Every structure is written in structure tokens, then in C-alpha cells.
Structure 1
Amino acid sequence: MAKDPVRVLVTGAAGQIGYALVPMIARGIMLGPDQPVILHMLDIPPATESLNGVKMELTDAAFPLLKGVVATTDVAEACKDVNIAVMVGGFPRKEGMERKDVMSKNVSIYKAQASALEQHAAKDVKVLVVANPANTNALILKEFAPSIPEKNITCLTRLDHNRALGQVAERLNVPVSTVKNVIIWGNHSSSQYPDVNHAVIDSPDGEKAVRDAVSDDAWLDGEFIKVVQQRGAAIIKARKLSSALSAASSACDHIRDWVLGTPKGSWVSMGVYSDGSYNVPPGIIYSYPVTCANGDWTIVQGLSIDEKSRAKLDATADELVEEKALAYTCISE
């Protein structure tokens, strides 16, 4: 029996990440090769022409799984009955702008979009926030969409997770598919902590700890962390544009694993609402290692955290608590 189409919203759909993301969704990379989709694309009025151009290209590509396209600048129309929402649209930090200015712009965007999702989306909608500051944008969205379960609002740290996998694979000269269980703790910012203490690689002789395989603690505790933390900036420097292709691909990975489940014995990193696990303050959106099954995620429990790691987990949590306070100041103004 053919499956019913899933309605997937992409905000900021005429932008760089949106342009990379919508064909991936239409081709089945996000939800599987047998899952029809109806794409809802939202952007701001000045991008109307560009958005229509993207819609034309989707028609021209003749994707068999694509059963319809809604391209609009009306947030209520965009959110109507959507099952999955990928929030790519946001206000980027521009030269000379203070953090508070950026936060204030994003608070108003995410407040409006949260209200529209609250009123018009499917009740069990799954939300992924990509636009920065991703963790805090997701928190704002949660505050203003109280009927959406808190477990259904997440932010993207899978890009950082994939970057960490890529760095380890490159260092060891092994296929990236053999590396698993890295962790991104905390904020999708340069304070994040890419952690390989529990990561392993599959080899012909069985699983081997990444630390043992790399056999260079100075690199793993120094340059590796810095490269993952600063990778976005390095790509902007190289391309003169932000990392759209890898962001779109990792957004697909995030939703695919959330909906279809993580492979047995492996976990992924997702920004989720903290319940206090690993002594992280509750009430912030924090990146944890999670496993997914039956459309739900669960934080991996019982991992040992050494003293060095503890300090890094706390530092990125402190930044998120500070961001939350700043966002609430913007809300009340």
C-alpha cells in the first residue's frame, strides 16, 4: 500500500540552505525512498520571486515522491497541517551587530512562527531549528508553542556531530561509516564540546576506541576540538558563503534518525530540552547523545564524564543559560 504523503515545512526556503535542502527532501533522503512528501516552503516577501524560482525547479526535476508544493510568504498557510518543520529562516548576525540585536530580531521571528505552528500544524509536529542561535531559537519556539510537546522541539547539532566523525575518519584514513558514537555536548556555537571519549571505530578485529586508534591525545584534546568548533567559520573563509550543503545534509540525517530510528549500538547528537541529565541545568536546549526509536529520542545515560570533560560541559551550559537570560530580556521588552 502506498503511504500517505508527509507534509514538510522548510522556512527560509529560498536561501542557501533551503535551496540545498528541498531537493534532498523531495528525493527521499530525509524520510526514505518510499515516503511521498508535500513540501511547504516559507520565506519573507522580498524573496517571493526567488521562492517561485525554487518551486519551478522542483517541478522541472520531476521528483516521483513529491506530491505537492506550497510556496508562500504567509506563515499560517505555510504551517497548515505540517508534520515536520525545519526552521532554517532566521536573522543572521551582521557586521557591527551586538548579540542582543541579533537575539531581539530572532525572538520576534520565532515568536511569530511558534504561534503559527501552535495554531496550524499537526498536533504531533516534529520541529528542527537550524537558524542560529539554534539552541535558544528552539527554546523561544518552545515557549510560544506550549501545546507542542517539549520532546518534539529540537535543534541541529548533527552538523557538528558529522564534522567530528569526518575529522576522525580523515585522521585515521578510514571510511566515515566505520566511526560512531562521537558526542557534541551543549551549544551549537564555538563553546560546544566535541567529545570522542566514548567513540569507537569498527575494524576487522572488532570495535576499537577512537582514543586508542588515533593514539594522539594532544591532537584529540586540542586541534580536533578547535577544528570542529571553528569549522563553520573556516568554510565561510574558504567559500565566502556559509556551509549550506553540509547543513542541509545533516538536517536530513537528524530528521531521518528521529523518525526512522538510530542504528543499533550507535547514538547521534541532538539539541534537546534538558531534563537535568549529566548535571546540565534543566530548562535549556542542550546537545546530548541520544538514541531514537518509534519516532522518539532518549538521552544516552550512564556515560562516564572525566574532570576535563566536566568543565567543558559546564562552560557550554553556562553560555546557554546566559543566552536564555538575554532572550527573555528581549521577550519582555
Structure 2
Amino acid sequence: MSAHVSNSAEPKVVCVTGAAGQIAYSLLFNIARGDIYGPNQRVILHLLDIAPMMEALQGVVMELQDCSLPLLAGVEATSDPKVAFNNADAAILVGAMPRKEGMERKDLLRANAKIFKEQGDALNTVAKPSVKILVVGNPANTNALITLLHATSLPKENFSALTRLDHNRAIAQVALRVGVSVEKVRNVIIWGNHSSTQYPDVNHGEVEVGGQRKKIKDVIADEAWLHGDFIKTVQSRGGAIIKARKLSSAMSAAKAIVDHMHDWIQGTPEGEFVSMGVHSTGVYGIPAGLIYSFPVTCKNGTYTIVEGLPIDVFSRTKMTETADELVSEREDANQILSA
């Protein structure tokens, strides 16, 4: 084992579901080399997938072994959620039935609701009380809510949904438009649902140009683009990638998962906020109880919603539209699970 790796700290147990799938294939190496917990923290990977995928999952286990990663303290592959989530410090719920051609969002929810109910029950029973849960499988926000509602002994603040991919996409589009590198752009916001109703908002964002930080909307003085093609591009980016690749966006999704978990655990840089789908307490007039994407800062392993940002009329309309969709999804989920 490399000298820089400390043997004194207990390894962190990270569970990844859908572990034989293509997002996990891009993700697992990054977790195992320290991209989430840092270069001195060993990890144990618990890999969960359905029984028919166990042979493929064993191939993933062999590859992880063959990577010879100093931080990887162990790997366990299973089809049993209670084994997978046992003693978990982090649970990344990637596995879900994918949306097929002709499928409505409600059909997707019907297919996945019982999966996330079962996983919520298992997390409630065997995971650490401090477990950090990130739901990736779509519809991610409502699947996260279902998981939360069935893990009644865990704090609501333990649950999140992935909108960091949309956040990263928004940053990239601004950087491309301005002609700067992505690290020059900060504080864009994704409000709401990880769906085509999400609202990518640059009103509070900044971009560094010529060594000076300026408001994005002052540098890109094109409201028609900011309210039109920019929003549409971010909202529909996943579909555009599927159309081009004939496969979903696994590489960028895996990067976004790492970014989300790293910042949640390690903290966000001073003066910067990121987007996370988290439990609404009613801030910004968003109905309480939804898993809704807000701007957040992170410190000492906890997130805090950035409050008090001024909201203009255009933004309010967009934020309400995506909240309304989440309310509708919650009602559908309740009907499905009570049937």
C-alpha cells in the first residue's frame, strides 16, 4: 500500500446500486481512487444489482481488483439490499428501470417506485444513521422522496437527488458562450426537478473575464438566449446525447455524482454554491416535503440552502412550474404505492 494512505482510519463503506450498469462502470474507479473522500481515506465498495446481473458484476469486481488501487480496502457484490446497505456511510442509488421509447414519466415512476421503497426500508434497517444518500435513477427527485419516506428513522437531510449534472451542463454552456474555461464560471443554479421542467438560472452567477468577476447576465447581454436556447439546451441535453451516442450520458453523470458527493462531504469553496436536490422546508415558497433542487453550500458534511436570493417574475414562474410537476409526481407515487 502506498505510503500516503493511512491505515488508522476505518474504511468508508460506499454502496452503489445498478453496479453492473454503464454509469457505475464510469463511477466506481473514481470512488475507489479517492475522488470523493480524498487521497488518505480507504473505502469498501458494496455493489448492488439484480440477480440476473451477478455474472457481469463479478467481472466489474475483477476489474476493480486488477486496478490495484491502494485506497480500495474491499469489494462486495450482492443482489440483497440489506447486505449492500449494511453499515453504509454513503449510498449512491443509480440502479433503476430506464425510460423506454413511448414511456410516459408516470410509467417510469410506476416501474421504479417499489424499487426505491424497498431500498428505503433496507437503508432504514441496516445503514449508518449518518449515511449520505444520493438518488440518481430517474425520476430522481421523486425516487429520492420515496426512499426518504420509507427510511423513517433517518434524518431528512441525509437524502438528495442528482441535479449536479444539470448544474455542470449549465456552467459549460455559459463558459462556451463567453469563451472562458469552466472554472471561471460559478453560482449558476438549477431549480426544481431533474426533468425538462428544471430551471437553469444565471441571475446570481458570475464569470471571470480579464481577471474580474462579473455578473453572467452582464457579460452575456442577450436575454433572448438566456431565457431561450440556454435553458432549452440544458433541459434537453440528456436526450441530445442519447440521440448522438445511442447511449445515455454515463461519463458526465459519473463525474456529477463524484462532484455532488465530494462537495457534500468535503465542503464547497468559499463564496460558491452548487445545486442539489434536497428536502424542501418551504423556502422560496416551494411546497414543503418535496425533493427540490436548490442552491446550497456545504461544510463539515452538511448542506445549507442559500436563502434570500432575489427572485424575478420570470424565475418565479419557472420555479413554480417545476414545483408543480414534483407535486404531481408525489401524488402519482402515493397512488402507486398505496394500490
1:102 corresponding residue in structure 2 = 108
- 1:157 corresponding residue in structure 2: 163
Does residue 134 in structure 1 map to residue 140 in structure 2?
yes
1:280 pairs with 272, 280, 286, which one? 286
- 1:263-302 alignment, distance < 5 Å: 263-302=269-308
Distance 2:85 2:101 in 1: 32
Distance 1:98 1:181 in 2: 33
The answer as to 2:98 corresponding to 1:89 is: no
1:112, CA displacement in angstroms? 0.7
Distance in 1 (CA, whole Å) between partners of 2:164 and 2:9 is 27
Q: Look up the match of 1:255.
A: 261
> 1:178, 1:266 → 2: CA distance?
12
- Unaligned 5+ runs, structure 2: 1-5
Match of 1:171 in 2: 177
SS of residue matched to 2:63: helix
Residue 8 in 1 paired to residue 14 in 2? yes
CA deviation profile, 1:172-207 (whole Å, cap 9, x unmatched): 111101100000000000000000000001244431
Deviation string 1:267-286 (CA, Å, 9 cap, x unpaired) is 00000000011001111100
Query: Matched residues in 2 for 1:260 and 1:331: separation?
Result: 36
SS of 1:287's equivalent in the other structure is strand
Q: CA deviation at 1:332?
A: 0.6
Which residue of 2 is the match for residue 19 of structure 1?
25
Cα distance in 1 between the residues matched to 2:137 and 2:325: 17
Matches within 5 A, 1:297-312: 297-312=303-318
Q: State the superposition RMSD in angstroms.
A: 1.0
**Cross-structure match for 1:226:** 232
**In structure 2, distance between residues paired with 1:165 and 1:34:** 30
Structure 1 match to 2:70: 64
The answer as to whether partners of 2:105 and 2:139 remain within 8 angstroms in 1 is no
Does structure 1 retain, via aligned residues, the 8 Å contact 2:184–2:207?
yes
Distance 1:197 1:115 in 2: 40
- Residue 193 (1) aligns with residue 202 (2): no
Structure 2 CA distance, aligned partners of 1:24 and 1:217?
38
Identity of aligned residues (%): 57
Q: What CA distance in whole angstroms lies between the structure 2 residues aligned with 1:300 and 1:103?
A: 30
In 1: Cα distance, 2:218 partner to 2:182 partner: 17
Q: AA paired with 1:66?
A: L
Residue number among 213, 218, 228 corresponding to 1:212 in the alignment: 218
Is residue 2:303 matched to residue 1:316?
A: no
* Aligned positions, number: 333
What's the CA shift for 1:7? Answer: 0.4
User: Hey, what's the Cα distance between the residues in 2 that align with 1:95 and 1:242?
Assistant: 13
**Where in structure 1 are there 5+ consecutive unaligned residues?**
none
Map of 2:37 onto structure 1: 31
Aligned residue for 1:7, secondary structure, equals strand
Matched, 1:117 2:123: yes
1:246 and 2:252 aligned: yes
**Aligned with 1:255: secondary structure?**
helix
Question: What is the TM-score of this pair, normalised by structure 2?
Answer: 0.96
Secondary structure, aligned partner of 1:259: helix
Match of 2:80 among 74, 85, 88: 74
CA distance in 2, matches of 1:99, 1:280: 22
TM-superposed CA distance for 1:3, in Å, is 2.7
SS in structure 2 of the partner of residue 102 of structure 1: helix
Partner SS, residue 93 of structure 1: coil
In 2, distance between residues paired with 1:99 and 1:266? 33
Q: What is the CA-CA distance between 1:99 and the residue it aligns to?
A: 3.2
